[in-house]
Structure 1
Amino acid sequence: MSRIGKSPIPLPEKVAVSLQGLSVTVKGPKGELSRTLPEGVSISQVENTIVVTPDNQKRKSRERHGLCRSLVANMVEGVSKGFTRRLEIVGVGSRAQVKGKTLVVNAGYSHPVEVIPPEGITFKVENNTNVIVTGPDKELVGNEAAKIRAIRPPEPYKGKGIKYQGERIMRKAGKSGKK
């Protein structure tokens, strides 16, 4: 049995959960999220906790047990606290700014790249080089951060590009000098 799946999910005060079979809807101060869980697990609410249990001891049920518990726990955390992902832009002349809701990134191309956020995701820029992606859905926040990073991934020689905050770039030696 999954160690992660065994532990119950505590519900904060301002979070409401509605369960209908395998579909879960979580409402909180940061928004509302809903998801349909895969077959093989059952979900129930016991007082102020949510418990995910496998339907049987078949391999598929055991595989999905921890996954479903993590998905629901991320939904609960997202609507109560929210998720953030920070990116750093490294390089001369590379910068970002927010126009309305759209993020405009100048990353060394001949044109600025515009990123339009999906519903529920917000962009914020600090010091023209630090981009903060926030939202209640962990999956969406991570995907949008990955899309921004993919505009210009960091290169291994000088480290220029867009990287996650705290990401370590493996550096390569450049050309060797003449003898």
Structure 2
Amino acid sequence: MSKIGQKQIAIPASVTVNVDNEIVHVKGNNGELTIKVPKNLDIKLEGLNLSIIRLQEDKKTKSLHGLYRQILANAVQGVESMWQKKMEIVGTGFNVKLQGESLVFKLGYSHPVTFEKVEGVRYQVDGNNKVIIMGIDKQLVGQVAYQIKLLRKPDVYKGKGIRYEGEKLRIKPGKKAKAATSAA
């Protein structure tokens, strides 16, 4: 039994949820999301609570039960208060600027790298080395943040590159540090 799938989703007063067969419409102050739920799951809306019920007891349905409960909970939370990922750019001369609706990065390449706006996501630049990615769809916000990180992944020796705020990196020792420890 899925323990997460059994929990009900509390719907805040500022969010409206409509269920049409397998399609759930979640609408709030920040926008609207539409989620298609598999046929072997049933959605029940009782007052300000949303619950998911399995119609079959096979392994696949059991695994989808908790997944779709959490996807719906993330949608409810996203339309009420947006999801955000904070990223930082580390390195000498590395920076970011907001140009129109796209981000322009200087990452040590011979040219600036432009990251175009993705529909459903907003960018905010804090200083010249921090980016905040905001949106109502948690999966899309995380995906865009990862695509930005891929522009210049953190270097394993110095840690230069784009990383999530608060991300811990394992820095490798260089040749000199390695030679000093083996000689001792």
TM range (shorter): over 0.9
Matched, 1:146 2:146: yes
Partner of 2:96: 96
Q: TM-score, normalised by structure 2?
A: 0.94
Using the TM superposition, give the Cα deviation of residue 44 of structure 1 relative to its aligned residue in structure 2, in angstroms: 1.1
Partner of 1:78: 78
**Separation in 1, partners of 2:121, 2:17:** 22
Partner of 1:122: 122
Using the TM superposition, give the Cα deviation of residue 38 of structure 1 relative to its aligned residue in structure 2, in angstroms: 2.2
Partner of 1:5: 5
Using the TM superposition, give the Cα deviation of residue 39 of structure 1 relative to its aligned residue in structure 2, in angstroms: 3.0
Using the TM superposition, give the Cα deviation of residue 56 of structure 1 relative to its aligned residue in structure 2, in angstroms: 1.9
Contact 1:40–1:60, Cα closer than 8 Å, also in 2: no
Using the TM superposition, give the Cα deviation of residue 131 of structure 1 relative to its aligned residue in structure 2, in angstroms: 0.6
**Separation in 1, partners of 2:127, 2:171:** 25
Structure 1, residues 96-147: CA drift from partner, whole Å, max 9, x if none?
0101111111111111111112222111111100110001010110011001
**Separation in 2, partners of 1:148, 1:123:** 11
After TM superposition, which residue ranges in structure 1, 4 or more long, deviate above 4 angstroms?
Answer: none
Q: How does 1:100-179 map to 2 (within 5 A)?
A: 100-176=100-176
Partner of 1:26: 26
SS of 2:150's partner is: helix
The range that moved more, 150-159 or 116-125, is 116-125
* CA-atom RMSD in angstroms: 1.2
Equivalent residues, number: 179
Report the AA paired with residue 132 of structure 2.
Answer: I
Report the AA paired with residue 61 of structure 1.
Answer: T
**Separation in 2, partners of 1:39, 1:170:** 45
The runs of 5 or more residues in structure 2 that have no matched partner are: none
The runs of 5 or more residues in structure 1 that have no matched partner are: none
Report the AA paired with residue 12 of structure 2.
Answer: P
Report the AA paired with residue 142 of structure 2.
Answer: G
